[in-house]
Amino acid sequence: MTAVAENPLVEGLERLPVHPTALVIFGATGDLAHRKLLPALYNLAHQGALPERFELVGVSRSKYAHEEFQQIARESIERFSRTKPDPAVLDGLLADMRYVPGVFDDAGVYAELDRTLDELDGKAGYPLSRVFYLSTAPQFFPIIVGQLGKAGLNSAGSRETRAVIEKPFGYDLASARKLNADVLEVFDESQVFRIDHYLGKETVQNMMAFRFANALFEPVWNRNYVDHVEITAAEDIGIEGRAGYYEGAGALRDLVQNHMLQLMALLTMEPPTAFEANRLRDEKLKVLEAIVPPRIEDVSAMAVRAQYGPGVHGGVQVRGYRDENGVAPDSRTETYAALRLQISNWRWAGVPFYLRTGKHLARKLTEIAVQLKPVPHLAFQSQGSVGVQPNQIVLTVQPDEGVSISLGAKIPGPRMRIRPVNMEFHYGTSFVSQSPEAYERLILDAMRGDATLFTRNDEIEALWGIIDPILTAWKQDVRTAVAQYPAGSQGPDEADSLLAPGHVWRRL
């Protein structure tokens, strides 16, 4: 298949060449493929970012002919693409799409996949790079990787071969280590791309530009000037019929262990010597290893869990978590988690980092708020002021992407009265182009072999090492009732106990 497009390469996507590639999606009929992966591939084709020779193969349990799968893919792209599909580009993308049906532990599926890929190589006249994208339930990751190894698909001559593995990567530290061992028996670390789609978001990548492309912030980016940091990932929806997944995961595994700790690492790491995969990930790893995991007996003082109860959201009465379909009436799975963490290194020693995430909160918001220490002395009379407040730097990841810096300014008039004002930058008004979806960047980087925005094996284990004692403590504590908060609220009052004197959670 030749990707059809009239547009030139999108700026920022042409750093490394994308070699002719065959992309194999395991779980190609699943929700992630329909909503994210297939639309992302279309938009890459529309932008002219796919290689001239690009082949797509779907593998899943459902029995479809090639033409049936092409039609399913077409409907998914037409429904979920961020841009209105161009018929010519869409036809070019789908024209030669292949489909291999079967269960993931069947060796015959991999023999058929091998035959299909060899056929595509023959059609191209040269060996295509191969990218295997595991978009399946996590229990199938080791099965698929093992079968790829047995079929000899993990390495094929001089061609580049890679495996992209979706989250969650492991269920706890022990399972993450086991999965790493299973994967690295088949693939070399350089071939493995563990995906966290948050790292593909433009606003998350802009954190690095914000920090390292502006000399303005580096002098204050340390314990001498920063009072505390608050990282919030709030959702205004419930579990949306995903009880089967959520009951086994919970908020801590779902968002804190990966997305939120990654945001914390990017915010606090030292400048890498180059924007290159291993150098960047080395700096993130240093931060993660400097976050001392809590002792199990100390977890109650630094972590809070809760569940949403009945409440009102958007003027609509909603039911509590334990009343959701598929949720046990005595469930102890948290829909809200808040943590207080410390980074034990020279730059950040003594600065508290507050993390919170939850379902059915007042509004949807992902942001990082860095509060600086108050000024040591006011040389002027501030009577009648709205209030002299410490400066804040707020990086909003979603939904209103941008950066805001709060300053104290004089209110017009004869008296010296102070009020906070904001200097703001918004992506939507500052750039005329639409931001690409995270999966567009990550799929392209995987085809390039650029692992900068992917998670390395030692990172994965460091992330789980921070969270594992909390999971263990919560599992062992069967007597303490799980706190409740009304749906549509700010969260549980118990989370206030994590805050140092004078600190308050930002309102959602």
Give CA 388 to chain center in angstroms.
36
**161-165 and 21-26 strand pairing:** unpaired
ω into 293 cis (within 30 of 0): no
Which range of 234-248, 258-272, 418-432 scores highest in mean pLDDT? It is 258-272
Task: Answer left, alpha or beta for residue 492, where phi above 0 means left and psi between -120 and 50 means alpha.
Answer: beta
- For 325-358, write each residue's pLDDT tens digit: 999 999 999 999 999 999 999 999 999 999 999 9
3-state secondary structure 463-475: HHHHHHHHHHHHH
Of the listed ranges 205-219, 338-352, 356-370, 476-490, the least confidently predicted one is 205-219
448: left (phi over 0), alpha (psi -120 to 50) or beta: alpha
Q: What is the mean pLDDT of residues 195-216?
A: 86
**Above 60 in pLDDT, residue 423?**
yes
CA distance 207 to 129: 32
Mean pLDDT over 285-293 rounds to 94
Torsion of CA 29, 34, 36, 37, to 10 degrees: 50
Q: CA-CA distance, 60 to 113, in Å (whole number)?
A: 11
- Distance of alpha carbon 212 from alpha carbon 505, whole angstroms: 28
Q: What is the pLDDT of residue 204?
A: 84
Nearest-angstrom CA–CA distance, 236 and 238: 7
Amino acid 13: pLDDT? 39
Give the tens place of pLDDT for each residue, 244-288: 889 889 999 999 999 999 999 999 999 998 888 899 999 999 999
Distance between CA atoms of 59 and 297, rounded to whole angstroms? 46
- The residues, any chain, with a CB within 8 Å of residue 483's CB and separated by 6 or more, are 304, 305, 306, 307, 336, 492, 493, 494
**In terms of pTM, does the model score above 0.75?**
yes
Question: Which range, of 105-114, 131-140, 236-245, 264-273, averages the lowest pLDDT?
Answer: 236-245
C-alpha–C-alpha distance, residues 407 and 125, integer Å: 62
Q: Is the dihedral of CA 89, 93, 96, 102 positive or negative?
A: negative
Q: What is the mean pLDDT of residues 196-204?
A: 85
Distance of CA 306 to the CA centre of its chain: 22
Question: How far apart, in whole angstroms, are the C-alpha atoms of residue 29 and residue 76?
Answer: 10
Which amino acid is residue 78, in one-letter code? E
DSSP string over 218-283: GGGSSTTTEEEEEEEEE-SS--TT-HHHHHHHHHIIIIIIIIIHHHHHHHHSPPPSSS-HHHHHHH
Peptide bond into 399 cis (omega under 30): yes
pLDDT at 380 over 70: no
Average pLDDT of the residues in 41-70: 92
pLDDT band at 157 (very low <50, low <70, confident <90, very high): low
For residue 24 the two structure tokens come to 């194999």
CA distance 460 to 333: 23
DSSP state letters, 331-399: ----SEEEEEE-B-STTTTT--EEEEEESSBSS-EEEEEEEEPPPS---S--TT-S-----EEEEEEES
How confident is the model at residue 14, as a pLDDT?
44
Rounded-to-integer distance, Cα 207 and Cα 229, Å: 15
The burial of 311, by beta-carbon neighbours within 10 Å (0-12 exposed, 13-18 middle, 19 or more buried), is given as middle
251-to-246, 247, 326, 355 alpha-carbon distances in Å: 8, 10, 17, 12
Q: What is the mean pLDDT of residues 171-199?
A: 94
| Position 18 pLDDT exceeds 70 | yes
For the record, the structure tokens of 457 come out as: 């094996």
pLDDT tens per residue across span 85-109: 999 999 999 988 999 999 999 999 9
- Answer for the pair 265, 288: CB distance below 8 angstroms, yes or no: yes
Task: Give the strand pairing for 226-234 and 365-372.
Answer: antiparallel
How high does pLDDT run on average in the chain? 89
Could you give the CA distance from residue 479 to residue 470 in angstroms, rounded to a whole number?
A: 16
| DSSP H or E run through 302 | helix 299-302
pLDDT > 90: percent of the chain: 68
pLDDT at 132 over 80: yes
CA distance 186 to 306: 40
Taking each helix axis from N to C terminus, what angle separates 38-47 and 87-94, rounded to the nearest 10 degrees? 120
Spatial distance between the Cα atoms of 355 and 263, rounded to a whole number of angstroms:
10
The residue written with tokens 């303490």 in the block is: 480
Closest CA to 45 of 72, 10, 75, 96: 10
Token pair belonging to 164:
């992209």
Contact 299, 338 (CB under 8 A): no
How far CA 289 is from CA of 7, 280, 285, 292, 459, in Å, comes to: 44, 15, 6, 7, 9
Contacts for 286-292: CB closer than 8 Å, 24+ residues apart: 286/345, 287/343, 287/345, 288/261, 288/459, 288/462, 288/463, 288/465, 288/466, 289/462, 290/343, 290/344, 290/345, 290/348, 291/261, 291/264, 291/341, 291/342, 291/343, 291/344, 291/466, 292/342, 292/344
Sequence-distant (6+) residues with CB within 8 A of 442 are: 195, 197, 199, 200, 453, 454
Catalytic residues: 259
